[in-house]
Amino acid sequence: MRIEPPCVACVFDDLEGAIRLLVDSQGTAHQIVEQALQFVASDYALSKVPSYYITGVHRIFKQVTGITMPFATLRRKANEVGLRITERLTLPEDSQERFHHLVRWAIAGNHLDFRTVGTGYELTTGQMHAMLEEQVQQGLQVDETSAILELVKRAKRILYILDNVGEIAFDKLLIQELQRYAHVVSTVRGGPITSDAVMEDAVQVGLDQVVPLILAGPDTLGISLDEMSPELRQEMTCADLIITKGQANYYVMDDYRHQARQHIACLFSTKCDLVSRDFGLRGKVSIAALLQ
């Protein structure tokens, strides 16, 4: 999915949220905004995905502030909340029902993104569990889980591309289920960017103990076809099935599917009408879709 005019406002809204949380100096805030405006204005192109610009402005944020790990406290707290909730889950015994259940929880976990949903982490684990349980009970507005499961059963190698902190605890459960059928390799970002998971987060939730992990590339929001690591490029070539989490990864995969030889499944909650529109819907909806 390429950038559209409304995306620009979201890019700066995302940046403003980081400034509001982490920057006390008005002078520093103005410097960040000035450089971010110059970056977007000088590099605006209809061929770019929205996450390219979010990556760029947050790199400016880190450079100007000198904060190497933005949202460090929120990131750790999100992982703690995700872990505590997963410990409370009861999984169905039937394999097909269990797979559907884990997909719904993995997508519900996408709502733990502190950047966009405004939940914060003052809520108790019980309150967060109830919020996510409600999302699970609402079901998926686009549900191709059964078709995805059939592809999983036929796959020998699956690439699972992670998204945010917090939700990776739910991804861990789904990855363990996928391993019943195929060899799975998963990815984290090579550097911190907003709420995307890095190796430190994967270790905190124990993902490194259950699945081989590779670095997807540097500090990009979602993966980047231009900046991906050689390891990710190799896995994207070898995998029989690619499963991605989150809207930023959907942006990229929506483009990549035209050259991909394998099936691509996207699991995420939409954050805007522009993306929901791709599926014939409006508002924020939950998606488990095959792109091809």
Condensed to tens digits (0 to 9), the pLDDT of residues 42-54 reads 999 999 999 999 9
Tens digit of each residue's pLDDT (9 = 90 or more) over 241-287: 999 999 999 999 998 988 888 999 999 999 889 999 999 999 999 99
How would residue 124 be classed by pLDDT, with cut points 50, 70 and 90? low
Let me know: does 156 contact 181? Beta carbons within 8 Å.
no
Reading the block at residue 192, the tokens are: 């911190």
Question: Do 47 and 93 have their domain in common?
Answer: no
Residue 114 has pLDDT above 80, yes or no: no
Question: Do 282 and 249 have their domain in common?
Answer: yes
Question: Do 55 and 141 have their domain in common?
Answer: no
Structural domains of the chain, count: 2
Question: Do 246 and 172 have their domain in common?
Answer: yes
How far apart, in whole angstroms, are the C-alpha atoms of residue 252 and residue 235? 16
How would residue 292 be classed by pLDDT, with cut points 50, 70 and 90? low
Report the pLDDT averaged over residues 99-108: 96
Question: Do 119 and 243 have their domain in common?
Answer: yes
| Domain end position, chosen among 50, 65, 80 | 65
Residue 254: which CATH number? 3.40.50.10880
Position 44 scores a pLDDT of: 94
Tens digit of each residue's pLDDT (9 = 90 or more) over 63-100: 999 999 999 988 998 899 899 999 989 999 999 999 99
How confident is the prediction for the chain on average, in pLDDT? 92
- Helix (H) or strand (E) run with residue 158 in it: strand 157-161
Question: Do 120 and 160 have their domain in common?
Answer: yes
Let me know: does 251 contact 51? Beta carbons within 8 Å.
yes
Residue by residue, DSSP assigns 230-286 as HHHHHHHHH-SEEEEESHHHHHHHHHHTTT-SSEEEEEEE--SHHHHHTTT--SS-E
Range of the domain at 95: 72-290
Position 278 scores a pLDDT of: 93
Question: Do 79 and 128 have their domain in common?
Answer: yes
Residue type, position 15, single letter: L
Backbone angles phi, psi at 263, to 5 degrees: -75, 150
